[in-house]
Chain A
Amino acid sequence: MNCRICSKLLQEYLENTISEELINDLNRHLQDCERCRIFFKTYSLTITLSRKVETPCCVSPEKIEHLTSLLYERLFSK
């Protein structure tokens, strides 16, 4: 395992789609390579922080009702 392979496998590792053997190889490499270890931690944290990006405010029940009425008028009432 070298740094380039390690970086290529990172995404699959996080999605849990690589074999146990490769996971063990990757973990061994991460133990020995500080650069990849930091890369791995900051890459994972980038994903975590993206999940915390503010989600816009919910659509209000009034707006949902308005939309439903509009759909009904335009598409169902003949």
Chain B
Amino acid sequence: MSEPIDKLSVPALVAEIKHGDTVAMGEIVKRYSNKVYNLAFHLTRDASAAEEIMQEVFLTVISKIHTLTNEAYFATWLYRVTTNAAYGFLRKEKKFAEQTSVDDMNHEQSVTYDWSTLPDDVLLSEESRAMLRDSIDTLPDTMRTVVIMKDVEGLKNEDIAQALGLSVPAVKSRLHRGRLILREILSDYFRKYSDPSGEGK
């Protein structure tokens, strides 16, 4: 390798690992361990499970790295293995909630209260962030995973689709429905600030 290890692209690192380069493996672990841990933690809400999953995921992908025919798909493969491991943990823990149908949800039925004008100290308070985090946890699983991957972790629709084995339109649809639910919850939560008496609803 002529380039420094930290400047190498992911496909180049993966190619090096296939040739038995353990330095390249260390670099991949360094680049992706936080991403894998965060995704696993967001999906399981369990720090020790997230750590175990992170270990299991890297053991799986590095041991099977030769099966990856297109090195460019390493990250989406990694995310897929991570979500599968997290689902496995949740199944074991029986936290796998039954899916709730929200197909008939319609934002036009919701009451309109413009909480977007609230000051940042209210919108970004510790309490409101904790409430939103808990609300994401209560989303039906198919939506929760997509919302976490897209809106919390900032992945692209195409990468999420690849990782979860979904079409891009399916990702968008789940994302939209998840966001609609969260918006409703936030609207209810922030409504207490709409009461001029300050007494809430």
Residues of A within 8 A of B (CB): 3-4, 7, 11, 15, 34-35, 38-39, 41-47, 49-56, 58-59, 63-64, 67-68, 70-72, 74-76
Bound together, the chains give a CA A19 to CA B14 distance in angstroms of 38
B114, B129, B132, B151: the one within 8 Å of A38 (CB): B114
Residues of B with C-beta under 8 A to A15 = 157
B98 interface residue per 8 A CB criterion: no
B54, B124, B132: the one within 8 Å of A59 (CB): B54
Taking A39-B112, A46-B183, A49-B123 as given, write out 4 further A-B residue pairs in contact, using a Cβ cutoff of 8 Å, ordered by the A residue number.
A7-B108, A11-B176, A38-B116, A46-B182
A35, A50, A58: the one within 8 Å of B34 (CB): A58
Contact with A along B148-162 (1 / 0, CB 8 A): 000110100100000
User: Are A71 and B58 in touch, CB under 8 angstroms?
Assistant: yes
Residues of B within 8 A of A (CB): 20, 22, 25-26, 29-30, 33-34, 37-38, 41-42, 47, 50-51, 54-55, 58-59, 62-63, 107-108, 112-116, 123-124, 128-129, 132-133, 136, 147, 151-152, 154, 157, 172, 175-176, 179-180, 182-183, 186-187
A35, A42, A54, A72: the one within 8 Å of B133 (CB): A54
Bound together, the chains give a CA A58 to CA B32 distance in angstroms of 11
Q: Which of chain A's residues has its CB closest to B130's CB? A: A54
Q: Which of chain B's residues has its CB closest to A66's CB? A: B55
Residues of B with C-beta under 8 A to A58 = 34
Bound together, the chains give a CA A42 to CA B41 distance in angstroms of 27
User: Are B33 and A64 in touch, CB under 8 angstroms?
Assistant: yes
B47, B113, B132, B175: the one within 8 Å of A53 (CB): B132
User: Are A67 and B183 in touch, CB under 8 angstroms?
Assistant: no
> Contacts A38-B116, A49-B128 known; A56 to B179 CB distance under 8 Å?
no
Looking at the assembled complex, report how far the CB atom of B55 sits from the nearest CB atom of chain A, in whole angstroms: 6
Bound together, the chains give a CA A52 to CA B176 distance in angstroms of 18
B112, B136, B152, B182: the one within 8 Å of A55 (CB): B152
Residues of A with C-beta under 8 A to B123 = 45, 49
Looking at the assembled complex, report how far the CB atom of A30 sits from the nearest CB atom of chain B, in whole angstroms: 13
> Contacts A38-B114, A39-B112, A42-B183 known; A76 to B22 CB distance under 8 Å?
yes
Residues of A with C-beta under 8 A to B59 = 70-71, 74-75
User: Are B29 and A53 in touch, CB under 8 angstroms?
Assistant: no
Bound together, the chains give a CA A4 to CA B22 distance in angstroms of 55
